[in-house]
Amino acid sequence: MEDGKQLLVMKGIKKSFSNNHVLKGIDLEIKAGEVHVLLGENGAGKSTLIKILTGAYEKDGGEIYWENQLVSINSPVDSMKIGIATIYQELNVIPQLKVYENIFLGRELKNKGKLSFLNRKSMHEKAKEYLRMLGQDPSIADKELSELGMGQQQLVEIAKALTLDAKLLIMDEPTSSLSGAEVEQLYDTVENLTKKGMAIVFISHRLEEIKRIGDRVTILRDGYKIETLPVKTTSSDQWIELMVGRSLDEKYPKKNFPLGKEGFRVENLTVKGTLHPINFHVNHGEIVGFSGLVGAGRTELARAIFAADPKDGGKIFVEGKEVSIRTPRDAINAGIAFITEDRKSEGLLLDQPLDFNIALANMKGFQGKKSKLINLQQIRNVANSYIQELQVRPNNVELNARKLSGGNQQKVVIAKWLETKAKVFIFDEPTRGIDVGAKVEVYRLMNQLVENGATVIMISSDLPEILGMCDRIIVMHEGKITATLDRTEATQETIMKAATGG
């Protein structure tokens, strides 16, 4: 199809779940050869719209046109047949299989004849061909997928899309788990695919990358399409205002508080082969950030503090008193909350309702003193108050956590730990994969925690976030602390120098 021609048109798309109207008559037009960005706060309707397009959900109303023909997409098979492929944040691969086997997973080539055995030779050769098209060494076709980095695994997913002769590729937060070099490689791949006429729908919360690769951006808010704009002639400030319905005066709304006494200390904490003796402290009135490259040991440190993983040695002090932490329950009892980087597998029980998730870390607090029975009404009342306070959408405590967007899931995780009345909050990548508006809400909540007397630690790979929100920045490299920087002296350059061992 000629570049610039209409490939996909969605008209008046509606979708509701019970009384929750998620999509309210959305129109969307995608052209061949363009990168079309979908932008909106969590809960705006992006994921639901994509799931209708991929056949995971059926629309309640509206029409879909593909190459000027009215089509029905009632299943993922329908979507794939017309030429739509999707790459989700959680890759649909099997690490133990070889690369070429993953490329043809579910669509294996077979020999002709009565005994239709797998034609491994043909799959192997075609896989090499697709890898060459993506600028990859074809010899990786023989490797187990687990041997590849995340960036190359993502390219294997793109190769799968090529086997479908896809004309439209949907990419959901594709750079969220990639290194800098892998991100650049993905950008190059996207550019090459669009030059060949493929259309790409790109879902991202990273405004700088939208400027880098986007052609047009469609902004959704509260289930409505607000605007479709050319990327090159509009600004990220315009997008944000349209996305959230208000101006965000400060991207990083850091508040300064008087420095108080020590609230948390770690002495000589070690994990064999991972963490060398780690020493640091956090005072009341400050947010301390941990920066470093992937594998530097930041998450491992947080998990060792919380006893999610065992430590070999070291002491931990809360409010000046040494605490013994052998299990996560010990950590909770000591007043430590750990908001993990993986909210879906570690922060929430996705198939349980919101009220249960919010009560989970403090279930004893809802037991009767004599009967020891759980007071379900009290749980519901408490959960409703957090849902209102944190503006979780949809505001229905009976919904399963799985049905919420990433940003709203993160709010539920935070509510769970607020209910423990913790003294120390460790946030690990707290804004990964959530939109600009939700990020600001998380930052303001951190300010509020500090103002209310809690000690706050933030682990983040987002340097502007670390620089914008932290009073002190501790940098790690290969399991060691290589620098502790005051916010007045910290820059991206000084952090990266320490993060690379310089």
Q: Which amino acid is at 32?
A: A
Q: Which amino acid is at 490?
A: A
Instruction: Output the pLDDT for position 213.
Output: 93
Pairing of β 313-318 and β 262-271: antiparallel
Q: Partners of 31 in the beta sheet?
A: 6
Q: Distance between CA 442 and CA 246 in Å, rounded?
A: 17
Nearest CA to 353 out of 389, 286, 310, 403 is that of 403
H or E stretch covering 376: helix 376-389
Tokens 């061992």 -> residue = 501
Total Cβ atoms within 10 A of residue 442: 21
Domains, the chain, with CATH or none: 6-250 (3.40.50.300), 262-335+422-501 (3.40.50.300), 348-421 (no CATH)
The 10s digit of each residue's pLDDT in 308-325 is 999 999 999 999 999 999
Which two structure tokens, joined as six digits, stand for 359? 């009560």
Task: Please state, for a pLDDT cut of 70, what percent of the chain lies above it.
Answer: 97
In the three-class reduction of DSSP (H, G, I as helix; E, B as strand; rest coil), residue 11 is classed as strand
Instruction: Output the pLDDT for position 137.
Output: 87
Instruction: Output the pLDDT for position 118.
Output: 81
Q: What is the 3-state secondary structure (H, E, C) of 113-134?
A: CCCCCECHHHHHHHHHHHHHHC
Nearest CA to 27 out of 220, 241, 184 is that of 220
Q: Partners of 473 in the beta sheet?
A: 289, 485
Instruction: Output the pLDDT for position 426.
Output: 98
- Dihedral angle at the C-alpha atoms of 63, 67, 70, 74, nearest 10 degrees? -70
Instruction: Output the pLDDT for position 446.
Output: 95
- 472 burial (CB, 10 Å; 0-12 / 13-18 / 19+) is middle
Q: Distance between CA 439 and CA 500 in Å, rounded?
A: 27
Report cis status (omega within 30 of 0) of the bond before 394. yes
Which two structure tokens, joined as six digits, stand for 275? 């963490």
Q: Distance between CA 62 and CA 70 in Å, rounded?
A: 11
Collect all residues with Cβ–Cβ distance below 8 Å to 403 and sequence separation of at least 6: 17, 394
| Residue segments in the chain with a per-residue pLDDT below the cut of 70 | 1-3, 113-116, 177, 246-249, 502
The 10s digit of each residue's pLDDT in 28-86 is 999 999 999 999 877 788 989 999 999 999 999 999 999 999 999 999 999 999 999 98
Instruction: Output the pLDDT for position 246.
Output: 60
Instruction: Output the pLDDT for position 29.
Output: 97
Collect all residues with Cβ–Cβ distance below 8 Å to 56 and sequence separation of at least 6: 76
